[in-house]
């Protein structure tokens, strides 16, 4: 008997899923996904992800995090401001027992979103503070690193972070190797197989699994089993929050 897939980084609390959530959840279950490590990007999602855990206690494992970019996609998107995290800090500690990780956090130095040194400094301040929250709460971190991969890995090492998932990593192989040596794990979204869909959702983890299996010359079942074991090792609190059904 094998455990099912663990989606280590999903945005099920995002408003884009509000209208067809039940359909998304049904497709998730049908694909054999047993756990959703559900990250947030802004404080307005915190209550939503907790509500989803209450609604789907056998599936949703909640995280709290403030993303380095805030606002809607496009011209309105901007770097996070330190005061936005400060206002949210009490929530991390109030709900500490329900959280399985801190995320989505990180750095995004995309030029049009972090045009000034002040923007980058603000992101770094928010990132380091959330790394410290993770250490204080003894939780792993779920990390975004666009146009800032080397800085993200160096910062986590400097801060003494040992448990991290680098999501959709796009840095150089040499930088990724530094992360591997530090003990960090990496996740691969369906984009690795050039999936051109408009919106991603948890059931598409099957696409990533097949692609990894093809690249490594393994069976999909082996990839599912090993990645699931990695996920449970990185997110040990998942076992306390989610009831598993084997198949």
CATH for 83: 3.20.20.140
CA distance linking residue 145 with residue 150, whole number of Å: 9
Q: Is 122 exposed, middle or buried (0-12, 13-18, 19+ CB in 10 A)?
A: buried
pLDDT digits (tens, 9 = 90+) for 24-82: 999 999 999 999 999 999 999 999 999 999 999 999 999 999 999 998 777 788 999 99
Domain membership of residue 49 (yes or no) is yes
For residue 12, is it within any domain? yes
pTM: 0.93
Q: What is the DSSP letter of 116?
A: S
Whether residue 247 is contained in a domain is answered as: no
162: domain range? Answer: 5-241
Q: How many domains does the chain have?
A: 1
Tens-digit pLDDT profile for residues 122-180: 999 999 999 999 999 999 999 999 999 999 999 999 999 999 999 988 889 999 999 99
> How far is residue 89 from each of residues 53, 64, 65, 126, 146, measured CA to CA in Å?
20, 10, 10, 11, 24
Spatial distance between the Cα atoms of 107 and 127, rounded to a whole number of angstroms: 7
Q: What are 120's two structure tokens?
A: 């980058």
Residue 246 lies in a domain: no
Main-chain phi, psi angles of 165, to 5 degrees:
-110, 120
């Amino acid at each position: 008997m094998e455990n099912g897939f663990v989606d280590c980084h999903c945005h099920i609390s995002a408003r884009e899923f509000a209208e067809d959530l039940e359909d998304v959840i049904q497709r998730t279950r049908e694909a054999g996904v047993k756990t959703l490590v559900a990250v947030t990007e802004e404080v307005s999602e915190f209550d939503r992800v907790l509500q989803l855990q209450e609604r789907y206690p056998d599936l949703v494992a909640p995280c709290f995090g403030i993303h380095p970019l805030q606002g809607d996609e496009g011209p309105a998107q901007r770097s996070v401001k330190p005061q936005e995290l400060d206002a949210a800090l009490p929530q991390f500690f109030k709900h500490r027992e329900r959280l399985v990780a801190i995320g989505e956090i990180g750095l995004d130095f995309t030029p049009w979103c972090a045009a000034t040194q002040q923007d980058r400094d603000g992101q770094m301040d928010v990132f380091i503070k959330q790394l410290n929250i993770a250490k204080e709460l003894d939780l792993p971190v779920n990390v975004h690193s666009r146009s800032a991969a080397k800085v993200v890995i160096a910062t986590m090492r400097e801060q003494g972070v040992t448990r991290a998932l680098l999501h959709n990593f796009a840095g150089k192989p040499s930088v990724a190797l530094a992360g591997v040596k530090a003990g960090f794990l990496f996740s691969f979204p369906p984009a690795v197989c050039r999936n051109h869909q408009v919106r991603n959702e948890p059931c598409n983890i099957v696409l990533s699994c097949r692609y990894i299996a093809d690249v490594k010359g393994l069976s999909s079942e082996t990839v599912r089993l090993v990645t699931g074991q990695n996920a449970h090792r990185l997110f040990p609190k998942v076992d306390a929050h989610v009831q598993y059904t084997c198949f």
